[in-house]
Every structure is written in structure tokens, then in C-alpha cells.
Amino acid sequence: MHVRTSVLSPRPVGPFRPLRAALLVLGMLAALLAAALPTAGSAQAAVPDRWGFAYLDNPTPPSGYVPDTTRQWGSWASPSTNPVKVDQIGVGSYVVHFPLIGGSGGIAHATAVSSVGHWCQIADWRTAGSGQDVYVTCYRPGGARDNSTFTVLYTSSSGLSATPAGSYGYLNSDGAGTVLAQYNSTGAVNAVSHGSTGIWRAWLPGLGLASQAGDLQVTAVDARQGARCKVSDWAPGSPGQTVVVACYNGANALYDTEWTLSYSYLRAVHGPASPPRSFGYLWYNGSVPALTNYNSGGGTNTLGGSGAPFTVTMPSVGVPPDTAQVTAYGSGPDYCGLHTPWTRASGAVRLNVACFSPGGAPVRIPFFAAYTSAF
């Protein structure tokens, strides 16, 4: 299995403390990280540099399968003539071949599309010739691998953002809290500290607002066994965003595993602001805070349904090719995904979000949902 090399040692912020106490160190962290901010002459770049997304619509694909062409796209020259392909390499185990976007760094996310409690995670990603291969594994409640449909996203950014609107950043951390890859659109340096088993505090300086605004997505990265990660808590402040990540194994116990996290404010889930012109996100935490409910078309996203599943409707942004990601929020080993593939009608997109107890029963819990078109 390919090992991604650490590019940043974890910042020594001391033993893990409850989140409210953690906020006391933000000012110190901001000062320590200020030196990482670039000068005005630093080069700017289009964000992201390389990206691709796909939806595997067949849980048992034949060799070289081309998944749903209305739900795949990327930054290579012509996805219509160089499509994403998927090979199944075992029960619940797949490799997604993104063409022409090979390179180091970046992160990947995956979301199961299932009505019966599957979850999907990343096993690895690696350059393969000129392309990027992303390995995805899916599990059923109890921790056994099982075939499933899923969405997958790979994205890599560098340099300062050439687009001033909003902000964006990501992290790839190993189980010990060592940062393997990171990006921050302000040029600052993100950091991670490890707490008790299965708990980490991520620090993204300079991003977002002093109140909860934007979208978060988290995915487990583990080739050995089933693992699920979620946002356990979120505390923004004027220096940046503090996010607590919690991960669980297939037996629903807190577990040290690798993971990826992305944060976007007024940006699509993979980093850009415009294009795409059609994207949105929504955070449900018992209500829907205004600054975490964004629609690039100017409409207002709405939340409906009983929770089995929820229905997130985003007007004026439903343009294929497109993709969606979902992450659970809160304490405990409950988790979320997509209940069915998203639908589009009259310019609107509808995401059916399903959340499950550890045993796979539908539950009504908080979640983050993000949608983007390629354009």
C-alpha cells in the first residue's frame, strides 16, 4: 500500500483539552502561524489545480466500467472523451481511475449512496501514470465489507487563491495527528493535535468567519478495516476554524485512523468559487443556521423529510454533471450518507440524506451536505 509522506510535523499544542478550553490557545496559535502567511508578491493559482469526481452507480461493476456520465467530471481536458473508469478489486473494494490528474498531495472524500446503512471510506490514493487512482472500500453495519454505490471526490490545491470570494482549506492527517497534506487559501498553515483515542483537533487559521459559516466534510482513510469519521464539534473564531474530528471502527469504538477534512466558505466542496456557478451547502444541527445555508444561485436551500431520509432541496443550482458529499455531525458513532442518488427538476437539485445508528437503523441526527456542479 502506498504511503503518503508527511509534509508537516504536528504543532505541539499540548495535551488535548475540551473544546472550550482549546479556544484559549487560538490566539497563540494564530501568532505562531502568522509567519506562514505569504508576502504580497506570492504567486496566485487557480484553485483547485487538479480535481475530479464520480458516482459509482453499479455496486458490482465489470472491469473498466464507466460510471454515470452525468455525475462525473474533472479538470482534465475532456472528460467526455477521457471518462472516469472503475474496477472492482474485491467485495466492497474499488479503484476509481481519474485520468490526467496525477500528482502528489491532495485529499479524497467518499460518501455511500445507500438506503440500508452502508458507509464508504477511502483506502488510499496514488498517481498511476498520468492519472490518479482513488481506492474506496464500503462496509455494512457490523464492519464487514459489502458492495455499495458511492460518490468519490479527489482535489488538490496549491498557492494562494486567485478568487477573493470566501475561503477554503483541507487536511490529511494520520492517526497520530501528523499532517500528510494540507492547503489553506490564505497561505497559512493548518495543524492537527491528537487527543484521546479517535479524537483530533484541527486548526485552520484565517479561514471563514468568527461565527459558524460554511461547510465541513470528513472521510476516514483506512485500508485495514472499516472506519467512519465525522465532525464532533466546531468552534469558529476570528483567528480561524477549530474542528474536532472523531473516528470509529466497525465495532463502533473510537479508533485512531487516517482521515481527510475539507472546509469551504462561499466555495464549492472541492475549492473553487466561480466557476462553478452552481453549488450549495447546508448544515443541519437541529436548525439550519443562516451562514451555513448557501446557494450560489441566490435561492434558499430548504430541509424537509422525517430524517429517514431528510430531503435537502437546493433551487437554481441543479446542473449536470454534478456530485454531492455528506458528513455526520455530533458525538457518538452514528453516521450519514445519501439515501438515493440526487435528482434534478426545474433547475433544483434534491439530496436525500440518510443517517444511521451503529446498527444501521435510520436516525435523525445533524449533518453537513454539499453539492456542486462542474460548471
**Tens of pLDDT along 138-158?**
999 999 999 999 999 999 999
CA 369 to chain CA mean position, Å: 10
Residues 6+ apart with CB under 8 A from 24: none
Q: Band of the pLDDT at 4, cuts 50, 70, 90?
A: low
Q: Which of 51-60, 154-163, 216-225, 335-344 has the lowest mean pLDDT?
A: 154-163
Residue 58 scores a pLDDT above 60: yes
pLDDT of residue 28: 33
CA 362 to chain CA mean position, Å: 22
Q: Which helix (H) or strand (E) holds 302?
A: strand 302-305
Q: What is the pLDDT of residues 238-267, one digit of tens each?
A: 999 999 999 999 999 999 999 999 999 999
Who has greater pLDDT, 123 or 18? 123
Residue 269 scores a pLDDT above 90: yes
pLDDT of residue 284: 98
pLDDT of residue 23: 36
Listing DSSP states for 58-108 in one string gives -SSPPTTB---GGG-EESSS-TTTS--EEEEEETTEEEEEETT---S--EE
Helix locations, the chain, DSSP H: 19-22, 26-33
Residue 294 scores a pLDDT above 90: yes
pLDDT of residue 25: 36
**CB-CB contact of 153 with 53 (8 Å):** yes
Mean pLDDT calculated for residue range 274-282 = 96
Residue 17 scores a pLDDT above 80: no
